[in-house]
Structure 1
């Protein structure tokens, strides 16, 4: 393993890692709020809305993310809906992870004592004030471990964007491996993924500490 060779391929790997991080970041930004909204719809008393959202969650969780990526990029143009590669990846990832987060948040909402909603009504808090100031902070405390698992999965799942031709970290490693006939690039790719997962784990632990007062 030559250090000179490593220094030559690292720029392309870092460039791929930058795209991986972009997809990771924007997926979280889009899917977490959407997951909360869908979870509220799943617990809604409006049956048509609840049924539609249940079907959406069933489809997203019941089919592989890889298949969803292919469908969004290659399938939707058949009916006139066309996305650029990067946008198609974000749409597929956000819709997929929002479904998983929705089920996690739904479980969190159902674990909060209903008496707290009644107490909030006595205090004349609106529904949205109750959610924002009382319920959601407790739900976040409950769901952090499950959310953490999905966040770590997202770091690794981002490698699936290679199927629609995006130059992410894994694709950069595969290109270097095929060109130079060596496994060194893939070993470096694995190391970078481990570092990214390690950073996410540390951040999640700090978030857990921030919500520790809800014990």
Structure 2
């Protein structure tokens, strides 16, 4: 307990940054994932192709390499100065969006085709059909895998510690500079991550129970 209390400032700063990375990345990756997932089932071949290329290219690229590009490659493009924290959010969002897109695509397949046909029969085009009819039903069906992707995103934020972002993954390094035992510090970090994951699991159960009744 002394290790935690004596280094509370490091823990607070680290997990605050982790939550910032997680929340913004979750928002942006969900929006992008819905767009890409919709493109993946689009009747337009070009849109399907673009969505497929994006998913296959980014999802099969190690997250560390994506971070390397934004940390070391982006500055050489001279497109303006951006903080490492912002670049980390972009990297996490682009990477996580591919998994969300595939989760939603599987959810689209659970919606009876008659739903989309009925929407088109009353004059709705592709985009309104997806956003008003298919997507709300698909999202209910994919809550467990969607939350699993968010849990993976939470843990992936620790990769940012290797790229000058002072989040939870960097707590051990900062505490070691103060002479604290690394193992105890890591155990505290792991405990807090377990608590955060349990919170996400609780939210998942609440959403499942709520929307199960709504059906």
Query: Under a length normalisation based on structure 2, what TM-score does the superposition of the two structures give?
Result: 0.91
Which residue of 21, 38, 41 corresponds with 1:40?
38
Partner of residue 204, structure 2: 204
Partner of residue 22, structure 1: 20
Distance between the aligned counterparts of 1:105 and 1:214, measured in 2? 20
Partner of residue 78, structure 1: 76
User: How much does 1:34 deviate?
Assistant: 1.1
Report matched runs for 1:51-130 at 5 Å: 51-82=49-80, 83-125=82-124, 127-130=126-129
Question: How many equivalent residue pairs?
Answer: 213
Distance between the aligned counterparts of 2:102 and 2:131, measured in 1? 19
Greater alpha carbon shift after TM alignment, 73-82 vs 105-114: 73-82
User: How much does 1:163 deviate?
Assistant: 1.7
Contact 2:3 2:184 in 1 (8 A): no
User: How much does 1:125 deviate?
Assistant: 4.9
Greater alpha carbon shift after TM alignment, 23-32 vs 3-12: 3-12
Greater alpha carbon shift after TM alignment, 43-52 vs 126-135: 126-135
Which residue of 8, 15, 18 corresponds with 1:10?
8
User: How much does 1:141 deviate?
Assistant: 1.4
User: How much does 1:59 deviate?
Assistant: 1.5
Query: Under a length normalisation based on structure 1, what TM-score does the superposition of the two structures give?
Result: 0.91
Distance between the aligned counterparts of 1:128 and 1:42, measured in 2? 13
Contact 2:14 2:171 in 1 (8 A): yes
Distance between the aligned counterparts of 1:123 and 1:213, measured in 2? 28
Where does structure 2 lack aligned partners over 5 or more consecutive residues?
none
Distance between the aligned counterparts of 2:109 and 2:61, measured in 1? 26
Q: Deviations over 1:75-130 (max 9, x none)?
A: 12223335320111011011111111111111111221111112223445555544
SS in 2 for 1:180: coil
Partner of residue 138, structure 2: 139
Greater alpha carbon shift after TM alignment, 202-211 vs 190-199: 202-211
Which aligned runs of 4 or more in structure 1 are off by greater than 6 angstroms?
Answer: none
User: How much does 1:168 deviate?
Assistant: 0.3
Partner of residue 185, structure 2: 185
> What's the C-alpha RMSD, in Å, of the aligned pairs?
1.8
